[in-house]
Amino acid sequence: MARINQPSVTPPPPDSDYFACLGVPRRLQFDPEDLTERFHEQSRRVHPDFFQMKSAREQALSLEASALLNRAYRTLRDPIERMAYLIRLETGRQEIAAKAPDDLLAEIFELQEALEAYREGSAGSEKEAAGRQLTEEQARLRERLARLEEELQQLSAQWDDAAKNDSTAPERGALLAAMQERLAARKYFMNTLDDITLTLEGRSDAKDRRH
Amino acid sequence: MPKIVGIDLGTTNSLIAVMEGGGPRVIPGPGGQRLLPSIVSFAEGRITVGREAKRHWATHPSEVVYSVKRFMGRGLADLQAELPFFPYRLLEEPPGVVRMAVGGRAYTPPEISAMILRELKGWAQADLGEPVSRAVITVPAYFNDSQRQATKDAGRIAGLEVLRIVNEPTAASLAYGLQKGRDGIIAVYDLGGGTFDISILKLKAGIFEVLATNGDTHLGGDDMDQRLAHWLAGQFNAASSLDADGWQQLRLAAEAAKCALSDKDEVSVEVALPGDGTPRRLRLSRAQLEALLLPVVERTLEPCRLALRDAGVKADQVNEVVLVGGMTRMPLIRRKVEELFGRPPHVELNPDEVVALGAAVQADILSGGTRDLLLLDVNPLSLGIETLGGVMSVLIPRNTTIPTSAKEYFTTSVDGQRTVDMHVLQGERELVADNRSLARFQLTGIDPMPAGLPKIEVTFMIDANGILNVGARELRSGKEQSIEVKPSYGLTEGEVTSMVEASYVHAKEDIARRSLIEARNEARMVLHSTEKALADADGGGWLMEDERRVIDAAVAELRGAAGGDDPNEIRARIKRLDEATTHLAELLLSRTIQKVADEKR
């Protein structure tokens, strides 16, 4: 039997931000277990399963609230998505586009030529040389990517300190800009690495997200 | 409050269950049977479902529909490979909707499924002694939007409000969790008659969170039967001469042998092929069967690996493996699953019933019966829209917890443009052509404005059923935008509504037909007892000639009426015969009393 006097649920307004939705401060480093617990707790409050016997209005609200909660959890549980979302929230900027770091431009030019050579070339020494070059480049990029991830972690810690210590807007702005630049570079490295992998596997035009 | 039932609408068998006294219970049919074969027969001019339909399977193959679940939400193009195996004619009308030409009509898969649902609903109503109008129905986790929608349509046609579509492996985990409930990572391996699902879940304090799901909606026991039937045809040198009837015999023999070999090491296969004098025989060992079916079983392993990867879980982190579906009784499958996960799977739950039991638990949650358990499921396939150059742009990636939503903004490209088209897709491939088209939407009634000025916000919401709902708003005016939906597969709203209406008409026909059958049965009984009484009376010479003539006339009239189609006429004649034989009955009664009294003396 349906219990009566169930505490009536007021779902968060649909425009509320993901941090508020899960009841966590705008920080970048937190315990994933704690986040999951909050997600489960909120799910028990707003999930449509518990509103099936209620009015159409309450059902619609619960659907909205539940969808928002699920999006919030999905975004915040991933460190990179979380950071990109924070930047968007704090600066109002939209999607962060992939962008190569300035100091890499010469290298990129060579890399593009090697990719071209490998794709166009028939089997032979020229193709083999391009393949070797690509494999080396792959290793170099992976190294740079690892360094980037470390820097991003440091920036996360700095952001959390700054937030705790009520630092000034310009200080925060500088941190956000630094994060954004590295996220753009990270995206660029990931794309390029994908490109190299697909090219080496000879599947440059048969991309399949499943694999 | 009326009960909400849980239904497992399976490829091979279907079940209905209900929550009672804190536990789920499978509702049996009239003969105590718990499984309803998902078979509908149109043989001999009437519609039968289940066991009786199954009996017609071998004798009237072209009038019996089985495995209709494989057709749900699909088009003919999806089914090319297996068309030769279906003995009835399939057509596509309108495009994207398969129909089966049986019983003098072309039925859609939701209509056939509705017949199965109506039968189950009848079982539940008889058992519970109250009308049943609301249900939770399970589907394979890997069912796409069209297949889910088709299932919901079937419910509506059967007169059921489908409160929720639940994924089968998730339902199974609910039933499992209720019984064994230990927190941890669970893998549910669900291999049924026609579909395969793998789901990886995290169970924590009553919350069942699906981490990832994968599968194949066209892989199951049917495929094994087909493979074995082919092999048998080869062994019997009959492959080239077989017609649909012959294939049907081979499939039935294959299915029986496959099931028997789960317990035995060797069986004898005997098939009477049409046109053959003597039945063909051969011995089949479990080892032979396993070698033959290994490729089918191996097709299930890759989805398992992909699901583990998407869940971010290693095989050895899985705490429990739960087996669902009749096919998992096969020792080969149990071995392969154990190999993959490095631990023996749970076998103590009945793999045929666990999904229906879980559906009943979910029904109980929806009715407000329990707040302790909660399922958090995911969408199995990425959802996106077609963008320039025939590329799919993903809006909601696969394995996102549902309900979930995404927004996309559209504008016009020509001055004064009044409509904008969208093409919504489901799938994991880059190119539109490689994915499944869900529907084409048209935003209409846009106020004429210079190109690029309107800003239309479209919200794609996947609800807790895994079904897509689309809404649109023009941001400048704040006006809700109307949307016309053309589903690529399946029925439009209008078509479903007319089927719901048609089902009422059929329900009336069904009642009339039943009434006729009952009247005829009654007539047969009355005629039989009258004949017996007349024989006794003739022997004793008790009846006057006049009286005898009146009775004879009433008998002849009833015989005539029973040959006709009017139950009221039959009943009227039965009454007339009753009246004519009142005196005879009295005579018989007093004779009997006399006889008993004589014997006692």
What number of H helices and E strands is found in chain B? 14, 27
Share of chain B above pLDDT 90, in %: 49
Tokens of B179: 């019984």
Q: Find where tokens 């039935």 sit.
A: B252
B177-206 residues labelled b (16+ CB within 10 A) or e (exposed): bbeeeeeebbbbbbbbbbbbbbbbbbbeeb
**Chain B residues in contact with chain A using a Cβ-Cβ cutoff of 8 Å:** 1, 163-164, 204-205, 207, 209, 306, 362, 365-369, 371, 374-376, 382, 394, 400-405, 428-430, 461, 463-464
Q: At what angle do helices B331-341 and B301-311 cross, to 10 degrees?
A: 30
| Partner-chain contact A208 B464, CB within 8 Å | no
> Using an 8 Å Cβ cutoff, are B559 and B512 in contact?
no
Which residue in chain A is spatially nearest to B361 when comparing CA positions? Answer: A49
Q: With beta carbons under 8 A apart, name residues in chain A contacting B312.
A: none
Tokens of B589: 């009664």
Question: CA-to-CA distance for B80 and A84, rounded, in angstroms?
Answer: 46
Mind telling me how many Å the CA of B504 is from chain A's nearest CA? Answer: 27
Interface of A with B in 1-40 (CB under 8 A): 1-3, 6, 36, 40
In this model, does residue B252 exceed pLDDT 90? no
| Partner-chain contact A2 B376, CB within 8 Å | no
Q: With beta carbons under 8 A apart, name residues in chain B contacting A70.
A: 376, 400-404
In this model, does residue A9 exceed pLDDT 60? no
- What is the pLDDT, as a whole number, of residue A1? 27
DSSP bridge pairs for B189: B198, B323
Which residue in chain A is spatially nearest to B362 when comparing CA positions? Answer: A49
- Judged on CB neighbours under 10 Å (0-12, 13-18, 19+), B372 is exposed
ipTM value for the complex:
0.82
Q: At what angle do helices A125-164 and A169-200 cross, to 10 degrees?
A: 160
Q: How many CB atoms lie under 10 A from the CB of residue B34?
A: 17
Mind telling me how many Å the CA of B173 is from chain A's nearest CA? Answer: 17
Q: How many CB atoms lie under 10 A from the CB of residue B269?
A: 20
- What is the pLDDT, as a whole number, of residue B290? 95
Question: Of B162, B155, B212, whose CA–CA distance to B186 is shortest?
Answer: B212
| Partner-chain contact B403 A63, CB within 8 Å | yes
In a mutational test of the B interface, the residue from A37, A75, A198, A210 whose CB has the highest number of chain B CBs within 10 Å is: A210
Q: With beta carbons under 8 A apart, name residues in chain A contacting B367.
A: 2, 52-53
Share of chain B above pLDDT 70, in %: 97
Mind telling me how many Å the CA of B401 is from chain A's nearest CA? Answer: 6
Q: For residue A196, what pLDDT band results from cuts at 50, 70 and 90?
A: confident
> Using an 8 Å Cβ cutoff, are B76 and B92 in contact?
yes
Q: Find where tokens 């089985």 sit.
A: B66
| Partner-chain contact B403 A71, CB within 8 Å | no
Tokens of B584: 């005879």
- What is the pLDDT, as a whole number, of residue B513? 67
The answer to whether A63 faces chain B, any CB pair under 8 Å, is: yes
A52 compared with B6, residue with greater pLDDT: B6
Question: Of A37, A201, B272, whose CA–CA distance to A211 is shortest?
Answer: A201
Looking at every residue in chain B, the average pLDDT score rounds to 88
Q: Name, in order, each residue with C-beta under 8 angstroms of B167's C-beta and a sequence gap of 6 or more.
A: B138, B139, B140, B141, B143, B197, B199, B210, B213, B377, B380, B466
Which backbone phi and psi does B221 adopt, to 5 degrees? -55, -35
Which residue in chain A is spatially nearest to B2 when comparing CA positions? Answer: A1
Question: CA-to-CA distance for B581 and B550, rounded, in angstroms?
Answer: 9
The alpha carbon dihedral of B34, B40, B43, B44 has a sign of positive
In this model, does residue A194 exceed pLDDT 60? yes
- What is the pLDDT, as a whole number, of residue B284? 93
DSSP codes of every residue in B275-338: T-SS-EEEEEEHHHHHHHHHHHHHTTHHHHHHHHHHHT--GGG--EEEEESGGGGSHHHHHHHH
What is the gyration radius of the CA atoms in chain A, in angstroms? 23
| Partner-chain contact B368 A47, CB within 8 Å | no
Which of A3, A52, A74 comes nearest B366 by C-beta?
A52
Which residue in chain A is spatially nearest to B371 when comparing CA positions? Answer: A50
Which of B306, B371, B405 comes nearest A67 by C-beta?
B405
Question: Of A150, A171, A153, A174, whose CA–CA distance to A162 is shortest?
Answer: A171
What CA–CA distances, in Å, run from B507 to B47, B119, B212, B496, B533? 11, 12, 42, 16, 39
| Partner-chain contact B367 A52, CB within 8 Å | yes
The alpha carbon dihedral of B107, B113, B119, B122 has a sign of negative
Q: For B37-185, where are the alpha helices, taking DSSP H only?
A: 51-59, 109-128, 145-157, 168-180
| Partner-chain contact A48 B367, CB within 8 Å | no
In this model, does residue A87 exceed pLDDT 70? yes
Mind telling me how many Å the CA of B400 is from chain A's nearest CA? Answer: 8
- What is the pLDDT, as a whole number, of residue A209? 44
- Amino acid (1-letter code) at residue B220: G
By mean pLDDT, which of A123-132, A173-182, B31-40 is the weakest? A123-132
Mind telling me how many Å the CA of B233 is from chain A's nearest CA? Answer: 37
The model carries a pTM of 0.81
Which backbone phi and psi does A6 adopt, to 5 degrees? -60, 135
> Can you tell me the mean pLDDT for A183-203?
86
End-to-end CA distance of chain B: 62
Which backbone phi and psi does A67 adopt, to 5 degrees? -65, -40
Q: Name, in order, each residue with C-beta under 8 angstroms of B530's C-beta and a sequence gap of 6 or more.
A: B551, B555, B577, B581
The answer to whether A44 faces chain B, any CB pair under 8 Å, is: yes
Q: With beta carbons under 8 A apart, name residues in chain A contacting B461.
A: 63, 67
Q: How many CB atoms lie under 10 A from the CB of residue B551?
A: 20
- What is the pLDDT, as a whole number, of residue A208? 45
DSSP codes of every residue in chain A: -PPSSPPPP-PPPTTS-HHHHHT--S-S---HHHHHHHHHHHHHHH-GGGGTTS-HHHHHHHHHHHHHHHHHHHHHTSHHHHHHHHHHHHH----PPP---GGGHHHHHHHHHHHHHHHHPPSSHHHHHHHHHHHHHHHHHHHHHHHHHHHHHHHHHHHHHHHHTT--HHHHHHHHHHHHHHHHHHHHHHHHHHHHHHHHTT-TT--BTT-
Question: CA-to-CA distance for B175 and B354, rounded, in angstroms?
Answer: 6
> Using an 8 Å Cβ cutoff, are B560 and B574 in contact?
no
Q: Tell me: the pLDDT tens digits for B482-517?
A: 777 777 777 777 777 777 777 666 666 666 666 777
Interface of A with B in 181-210 (CB under 8 A): 207-210
- What is the pLDDT, as a whole number, of residue B506? 64
Q: With beta carbons under 8 A apart, name residues in chain A contacting B463.
A: 48, 63
Run of H or E residues at B164: strand B161-167
- Residues B428, B430, B431, CA angle at the centre, nearest 5°? 115
Edge-to-edge, what's the strand order for the sheet holding B105-107?
Answer: B89-92, B98-102, B105-107
| Partner-chain contact A1 B404, CB within 8 Å | no
Question: CA-to-CA distance for B489 and B95, rounded, in angstroms?
Answer: 8
| Partner-chain contact A48 B402, CB within 8 Å | no
- What is the pLDDT, as a whole number, of residue B538? 81
- In three-state secondary structure terms, B584 is helix
HEC string for B381-400: CCEEEEECCCEEEEEECCCC
Which residue in chain B is spatially nearest to A63 when comparing CA positions? Answer: B403
- What is the pLDDT, as a whole number, of residue A5? 33
Question: CA-to-CA distance for B415 and B450, rounded, in angstroms?
Answer: 4
Strand B436-444 to strand B420-426: parallel, antiparallel, or no bridges (unpaired)? antiparallel
Question: CA-to-CA distance for B457 and B438, rounded, in angstroms?
Answer: 20
By mean pLDDT, which of A94-108, B58-72, B156-170 is the weakest? A94-108
- What is the pLDDT, as a whole number, of residue B42? 92
Residues of B with active-site annotation: 8, 69, 168, 190
Question: CA-to-CA distance for B554 and B570, rounded, in angstroms?
Answer: 11
Q: Name, in order, each residue with C-beta under 8 angstroms of B76's C-beta and a sequence gap of 6 or more.
A: B83, B90, B91, B92, B98
Q: Tell me: the pLDDT tens digits for B541-598?
A: 778 888 889 999 999 999 999 888 888 888 889 889 988 888 888 887 777 777 767 7
